[in-house]
């Protein structure tokens, strides 16, 4: 699969928390925790389960950082 997005992070699924409509998919990306919120339907279509290898594609126009 070819994508124009340049922000791609390879990782593996650690856990999935399914709600009624949204699944929070916790990833391990080079030792860092990343959580993606996707539809439950998408998680099922992708066959995601702990241990699945994935690529997180990040599409955002802004990244905002804050300090306490």
Sketch the domain layout of the chain as residue ranges.
8-57
**pLDDT tens, the chain, 68 aa long:** 788 888 899 999 999 999 999 999 999 999 999 999 999 999 999 999 999 999 999 887 787 889 99
- The pLDDT value recorded for residue 15 is 98
Q: Where are the beta strands (DSSP E) in 1-68?
A: 8-18, 22-29, 32-39, 53-57
**Residues in Cβ contact with 11 at an 8 Å cutoff, skipping those fewer than 6 apart:** 27, 28, 29, 30, 34, 53, 54, 55, 56
Find, among 4, 5, 14, 67, the residue nearest to 36 by Cα: 14
pTM for the model stands at 0.84
- The CATH topology of domain 8-57 is OB fold (Dihydrolipoamide Acetyltransferase, E2P) (2.40.50)
């Amino acid at each position: 699969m070819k994508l124009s997005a340049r922000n791609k992070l390879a990782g593996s699924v650690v856990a999935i928390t399914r709600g009624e409509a949204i699944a929070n998919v916790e990833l391990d990306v080079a030792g860092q925790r990343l959580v993606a919120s996707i539809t439950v339907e998408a998680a099922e279509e992708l066959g995601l389960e702990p241990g699945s290898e994935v690529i997180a594609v990040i599409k955002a126009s802004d990244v905002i950082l804050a300090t306490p």
